[in-house]
């Protein structure tokens, strides 16, 4: 069938992130979703946000549903051009469903992140059930008298969202006829793959797309950061050097800083497109090369010089537009990521 051909071919494609000037339009909608899909003793609900584009929807249509990731759903909707490219061929109703606990889909409002009591409903199993519940409601809403069967639904997703898309097909085959899982690390769990494999690939990206000096500088920086911040003076100086909003005061903050850096290096490798993008943050074309150029252009022979070079290069990611006043060490999304790991999210 056409859908089977599309699904087969799409697995051969790399994920596509749109250039900054691309834009798609949606109607924003909300649906009441069970808070706990697996507890039948209570009927508490919360409001889940989703986006709809019915431009291409027509007779014998298909539901294309994007399984939302860790962030506002609009960010993913504006950076998933492949779905729009193929939607006309399948008369597709395009849906982008927000992940619970992100964006506006907060089960307990401002209290959602405040304690384990409220965060206990954050899990991949609950999120999958959210999406299936939404699909079932959409199939009823868009059904016509001529429909001999339910509208078929195909799940899409990238990265963690790709994991969700694949799991939707695996766990709910009665609701999902296929899934396009782009860059989905469904086997990236303990004892299934070497823990350092991902960052080996990131390092190789910086070596081949940047320079050997860039890689060596980053590798040397880890020990220098630890030694330089052993006292209060070093912590304060590094925070100022790298333009952080607040001064580092504890060793725990330095550990968080190391994770913050690791995440930036990974993000640069993941979004290293040959054109400007704004998927995670505004970035230039070839951001890994731009980052490494900053380091390659500077000469340094001591620790402070190396840290200064890293700080200059980091601005490619943290302040490419020149509008960021100062850097925050950790955001709500990062804290939620820790919560997802603890709850078996990934």
Whole-number pLDDT of residue 330: 67
Whole-number pLDDT of residue 5: 44
Is 144's pLDDT higher than 80? Answer: no
Contact predicate 103/72, CB 8 Å: yes
In terms of Cα–Cα distance, which of 245, 274, 273 is closest to 260?
245
Contact predicate 185/16, CB 8 Å: no
Query: 168-179: per-residue pLDDT in tens?
Result: 999 999 999 999
Give the tokens for residue 20. Answer: 């900054």
Query: 70-124: per-residue pLDDT in tens?
Result: 999 998 998 888 999 999 999 999 999 999 999 999 999 999 999 999 999 999 9
Beta strand ranges found along the chain (DSSP E): 27-34, 45-53, 62-67, 92-97, 153-158, 178-182
Give the containing element (helix H, strand E) for 131.
helix 124-141
In terms of Cα–Cα distance, which of 80, 99, 79 is closest to 282?
79
Q: Is 344 left (phi over 0), alpha (psi -120 to 50) or beta?
A: left
Residue 257: exposure state from Cβ atoms within 10 A (0-12, 13-18, ≥19):
buried
Average pLDDT, the chain: 88
Q: Are strands 153-158 and 92-97 parallel, antiparallel or unpaired?
A: unpaired
Is 13's pLDDT higher than 70? Answer: no
Rounded to two decimals, the pTM is 0.77
Q: For residue 191, what is the DSSP state?
A: T
Give the tokens for residue 145. Answer: 């008298």
Whole-number pLDDT of residue 147: 52
Domains of the chain: 2-182 (3.40.50.1820), 197-341 (1.20.120.980)
| Cα separation values, 164 from 127, 130, 195, 290, Å | 8, 11, 21, 33
Greater model confidence, 246 or 143 = 246
Is 4's pLDDT higher than 70? Answer: no
Strand partners, 47: 32
Is 334's pLDDT higher than 70? Answer: no
Q: Which of 2-6, 43-47, 266-270 has the lowest mean pLDDT?
A: 2-6
């Amino acid at each position: 069938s056409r859908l089977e051909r599309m699904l087969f071919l799409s697995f051969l494609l790399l994920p596509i992130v749109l250039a900054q000037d691309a834009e798609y339009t949606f109607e924003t909608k909300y649906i009441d979703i069970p808070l706990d899909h697996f507890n039948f003793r209570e009927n508490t609900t919360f409001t889940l946000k989703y986006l709809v584009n019915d431009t291409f929807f027509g007779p014998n249509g298909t539901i294309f549903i994007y399984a939302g990731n860790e962030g506002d759903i609009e960010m993913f909707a504006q950076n998933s051009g492949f779905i729009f490219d193929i939607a006309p061929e399948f008369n597709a109703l395009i849906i982008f469903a927000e992940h619970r606990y992100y964006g506006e889909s907060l089960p307990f409002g401002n209290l959602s992140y405040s304690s384990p009591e409220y965060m206990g409903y954050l899990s991949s199993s609950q999120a999958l059930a959210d999406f299936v519940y939404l699909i079932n409601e959409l199939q009823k809403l868009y059904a016509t008298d001529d429909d001999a069967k339910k509208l078929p639904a195909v799940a899409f997703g990238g990265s963690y969202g790709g994991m969700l898309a694949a799991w939707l097909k695996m766990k709910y085959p009665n609701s999902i006829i296929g899934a396009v899982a782009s860059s989905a690390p469904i086997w990236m769990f303990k004892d299934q793959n070497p823990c350092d494999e991902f960052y080996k690939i990131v390092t190789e990206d910086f070596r081949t797309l940047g320079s050997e000096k860039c890689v060596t500088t980053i590798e040397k920086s880890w020990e220098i950061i630890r030694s330089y911040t052993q006292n209060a003076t070093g912590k304060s100086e590094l925070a100022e050097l790298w333009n952080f909003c607040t001064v580092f005061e504890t060793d725990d903050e330095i550990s968080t800083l190391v994770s913050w850096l690791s995440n930036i290096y990974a993000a640069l490798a993941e979004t290293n497109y040959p054109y400007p993008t704004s998927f995670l943050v505004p970035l230039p074309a070839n951001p890994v090369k731009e980052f490494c150029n900053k380091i390659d252009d500077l000469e340094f022979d001591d620790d402070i010089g190396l840290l200064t070079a890293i700080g200059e290069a980091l601005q490619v990611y943290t302040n490419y537009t020149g509008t960021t006043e100062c850097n925050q060490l950790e955001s709500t999304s990062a804290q939620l990521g820790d919560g997802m790991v603890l709850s078996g999210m990934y």
